[in-house]
Structure 1
Amino acid sequence: MSRWPDDDVILYDGVCVFCSRWVRFVANRDVERRFRFTAIQSAYGTRLAQAFGIDPKDPDTNAVLHGGVAWLKSDAALTVLSLLPRWGWVRVFFAVPKPLRDAVYSLVARNRYRIFGKYDKCFVPDADIRARVME
């Protein structure tokens, strides 16, 4: 777990259809507007990815910066969900051993383009989400 000065920033693959849907899912439920977003393909996102050992050209995880710590893979997804209103119940999945959670996460991540598709260029969010994007 690496430290970073920004907080509650979600790093995602901007050309991944599934990842872009994840951003919309979170943004629509984040009524406090706590989270901000950055695509791994942006200058800021690339710097974050490199700082946390994620290959920006072939990302195998999203990440969330929370509490000054970068959470990866299943920890990232569960951390984000657990901070959304009415989603705190997902904390029970932290009881599942991390290697098992991460194996499932990695299986989906490896096959995300084939299953969900890929954009030709980085996903452009609507105006509401765009105001929360860090580039």
Structure 2
Amino acid sequence: MNAALKAHQRYRDDAILSAAPERLLTMLYDRLMLDIERGEMAQRGGDWDAANTQLQHAQSIVAELNASLTDAWDGSAQLRAVYAFLTQTLIGANVGRDPERTRSCLEIVAPLRDAWHTASESLAARRA
């Protein structure tokens, strides 16, 4: 690994380790979107290995998001149901090699990601 790549990796690692919880959440959602987009592109290109890798990583992120939910929040049960649906749909899209099902996951995740970004920005503004 060259020095520039090591420095970039170190910067990313430091950014994650020092991020506020709400920033970590938005980072997970951003990566989830990227994984689903990459998975869909790989499916459409017939690169099933790459699609599998991306969609499995997306499933791991959804599992992490689900595990981070607390039942103290009134909306947790509904969001948990969304995460369960996303997991099932990602698995089905991967096994069935169905880019349209993968695309449907993007349509679910995008507004959630946007909402969490808005909430994170609002919280940061209140702290400032």
**TM-score, length-scaled by structure 1:** 0.29
- When Rg is computed on C-alpha atoms for both structures, the one with the higher figure is 2
Larger RCO (alpha carbons 8 Å, 6+ apart)? 1
- Which structure carries more helix by proportion? 2
**TM-score, length-scaled by structure 2:** 0.30
